[in-house]
Chains A and B, each alone.
Chain A
Amino acid sequence: GAGVSQSPSNKVTEKGKDVELRCDPISGHTALYWYRQRLGQGLEFLIYFQGNSAPDKSGLPSDRFSAERTGESVSTLTIQRTQQEDSAVYLCASSPKAKSGAYEQYFGPGTRLTVT
């Protein structure tokens, strides 16, 4: 079946502009995560959605970052007034209800954001 999709795959923007990144999770997956991966580094947790519960925003680096998700569907990550340090790959992952407790995450291909 279809995996997690993200759009756009690449985004180049000027410093100070707003950007919106989109994630389509696997159908039926209740959990959705956003991560940031800077060049040559590991993943940095940003935000977590679980069903209709309030999201965990504890990883968002500043108030310029926000994310929304409607139910168990599409999510958008918005970065306002982009800065050069925002340049990174933004990865989205979704996770199903556990059968075994694994709760493995299925990742999308990412959006590569470059702020010039």
Chain B
Amino acid sequence: AQKITQTQPGMFVQEKEAVTLDCTYDTSDPSYGLFWYKQPSSGEMIFLIYQGSYDQQNATEGRYSLNFQKARKSANLVISASQLGDSAMYFCAMREGYNFNKFYFGSGTKLNVKP
């Protein structure tokens, strides 16, 4: 089974609107971490936001927030007030347990922000 599933290969959003990128994960370990990365066309992976499995509140970083629904095993990324510079690939990732070698990445979602 896939550890990380991103079901949206591509998304379009109008500039200044909010967009949600879906991510579901699969683990039986009670301790895990969830990450979102942005990969612009330049290729570099940029860390956006982190959510620990024991964190009570949803993580937020500026315009990014992570909608963490533990029972559903989902960790959707919400980008508010989209900007043209948000156009990029977005990857959801999971660190399973405290095994720092065990990072799993989804297949990514290509976000296009329209002016």
Residue A89, interface by CB 8 Å: yes
Q: Determine the interface band of chain A, counting residues with CB < 8 A from chain B.
A: 20 to 34
Residue B25, interface by CB 8 Å: no
Interface positions, chain A 69-116, Cβ under 8 Å from B, are 89, 91, 93, 95, 100-110, 112
B56 to chain A, nearest CB (A): 14
Q: Using Cβ atoms and an 8 Å threshold, which residues of chain A touch B107?
A: 41-42
Chain B interface residue count, Cβ-Cβ cutoff 8 angstroms: 24
Contact with A along B92-110 (1 / 0, CB 8 A): 0101000011111111100
The 8 Å CB contact of A104, one of B35, B42, B43, is B35
Which residues of B line the A interface, CB within 8 A? 4, 33, 35, 37, 42-47, 50, 52, 91, 93, 95, 100-108
